[in-house]
């Protein structure tokens, strides 16, 4: 694994008596796209604001580029491109004015790249920001996050307000960032976005991190539906007690079943017979996510909830 760009240990934040995040531990490696997944109110934004030292934790620590974000926050932020979930722009300024100001704060930008980004995202930089739609404000937010080609991108709900075509362009920007060796931390509650662009994903539930895994590993341990069409019906009992195979059902020569984990034993047994078709209904991230949120209403809510 590459060096850790983000390292979090025991990170906890309370708002008075209300829970923000609880005892978080995770790392984000250099060059990876890390998805931070959870519904609204789970603690995603609180985590990001703490990482950027915009708010201070109750307990624990966070490091970016090996530096403590509380002690070296200003230096850390110089190499971070940040898109907040709630984007606030300067009134009375055009998009170009905003980007010029933010570029100067960052120490200057390559305006050829800024123009390239604005063309790709179809952003009108000459319009006052108060007149922009939410989608066009989001485009401006993405431009300011990407324009310095930062070592780390932290993006909170980056596809909010974007139409499908612009979402595809955003995906291409993420792919290019990954190719350039940049690290990307993407917080979202939109499951297809995370599944489309991320290498690993952390799932947060009621302020607690319940898992951090590669997406493919998450899928591997999840129930999937299978259909196998045989030329002739094989003996049903041959499939009844295979490891990980459940709900075996034959309709003539078509087998339908559910499998948890690896398919090796099922495939080896099926190979004894003539197979005409094999269909695997792969689990998607939404199904996996819902598994981690089953029975949420029964969770202990001691300490309350925040809105982050």
Residues 159 and 276 in one domain: no
Q: Is 152 domain-assigned?
A: yes
Cβ-count burial of 114 within 10 angstroms (0-12 exposed, 13-18 middle, 19+ buried)?
buried
Give the model's confidence band at 40: pLDDT under 50 very low, under 70 low, under 90 confident, else very high. confident
Angle at 158 between CA 152 and CA 162, to 5 degrees: 145
Q: Whose CA is closest to 47, among 196, 195, 212?
A: 212
pLDDT of residue 10: 96
pLDDT of residue 302: 40
Cβ-count burial of 193 within 10 angstroms (0-12 exposed, 13-18 middle, 19+ buried)?
buried
Could you tell me which residues are beta bridge partners of residue 212?
202
Above 50 in pLDDT, residue 300? no
Stated pTM of the model: 0.77
Q: For the segment 89-145, what is each residue's pLDDT rounded down to a tens digit? A: 888 899 999 999 999 988 889 999 999 999 999 999 999 998 989 999 999 999 999
Q: Specify whether the CB–CB gap between 248 and 236 falls below 8 A.
A: yes
Total domains in the chain come to 2
Helix (H) or strand (E) holding 118: helix 111-120
- Give the CATH number for residue 43: 3.40.50.300
Q: Is 300 domain-assigned?
A: no
Least confident of 1-10, 11-20, 268-277: 1-10
Q: What is the DSSP string of 84-108?
A: -SS----TT-BHHHHHHHHHHHTT-
Residues 101 and 31 in one domain: yes
Domain that holds residue 35: 4-218
Give the model's confidence band at 298: pLDDT under 50 very low, under 70 low, under 90 confident, else very high. very low
Residues 161 and 206 in one domain: yes
Residues 189 and 135 in one domain: yes
Residues 181 and 261 in one domain: no
Q: For the segment 198-242, what is each residue's pLDDT rounded down to a tens digit? A: 989 999 988 999 889 887 777 666 677 899 999 999 999 999 989
Q: Is 211 domain-assigned?
A: yes
Residues 135 and 253 in one domain: no
Residues 171 and 229 in one domain: no
Residues 203 and 241 in one domain: no
Q: Is 87 domain-assigned?
A: yes
Residues 82 and 210 in one domain: yes
Residues 181 and 254 in one domain: no
Give the model's confidence band at 299: pLDDT under 50 very low, under 70 low, under 90 confident, else very high. very low
Q: Is 297 domain-assigned?
A: no
Give the rounded percent of residues in the chain with a pLDDT score beyond 70.
89
Residues 70 and 171 in one domain: yes
Residues 198 and 239 in one domain: no
């Amino acid at each position: 694994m590459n060096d850790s760009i983000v390292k979090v240990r025991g990170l906890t934040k309370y708002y008075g008596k209300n829970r923000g995040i609880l005892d978080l531990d995770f790392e984000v490696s250099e060059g990876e796209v890390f998805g931070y997944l959870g519904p609204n109110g789970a603690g995603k934004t609180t985590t990001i604001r703490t990482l950027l030292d915009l708010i201070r934790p109750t307990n624990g620590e966070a490091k970016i580029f090996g530096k403590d974000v509380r002690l070296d926050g200003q230096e850390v932020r110089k190499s971070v491109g940040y898109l907040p979930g709630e984007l606030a722009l300067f009134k009375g300024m055009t998009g170009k004015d905003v980007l010029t100001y933010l570029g100067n704060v960052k120490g200057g930008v390559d305006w050829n790249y800024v123009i390239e980004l604005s063309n790709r995202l179809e952003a009108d930089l000459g319009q006052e920001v108060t007149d922009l739609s939410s989608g066009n404000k989001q485009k401006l937010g993405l431009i300011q996050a990407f324009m310095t080609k930062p070592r780390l991108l932290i993006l909170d709900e980056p596809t909010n307000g974007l139409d499908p075509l612009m979402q595809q362009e955003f995906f291409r920007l993420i792919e290019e960032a990954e190719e350039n060796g940049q690290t990307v931390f993407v917080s979202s509650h939109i499951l297809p976005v995370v599944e489309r662009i991320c290498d690993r994903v952390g799932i947060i539930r009621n302020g607690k991190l319940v898992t951090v895994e590669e997406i493919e590993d998450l899928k591997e341990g999840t129930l999937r539906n299978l259909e196998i069409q045989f030329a002739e019906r094989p003996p049903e009992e041959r499939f009844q007690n295979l490891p990980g195979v459940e709900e075996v059902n034959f309709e003539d020569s078509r087998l339908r079943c559910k499998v948890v984990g690896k398919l090796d034993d099922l495939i080896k047994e099926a190979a004894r017979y003539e197979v005409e078709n094999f269909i695997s209904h792969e689990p998607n991230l939404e199904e996996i996510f819902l598994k981690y949120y089953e029975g949420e209403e029964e969770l202990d809510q001691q300490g309350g909830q925040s809105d982050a």
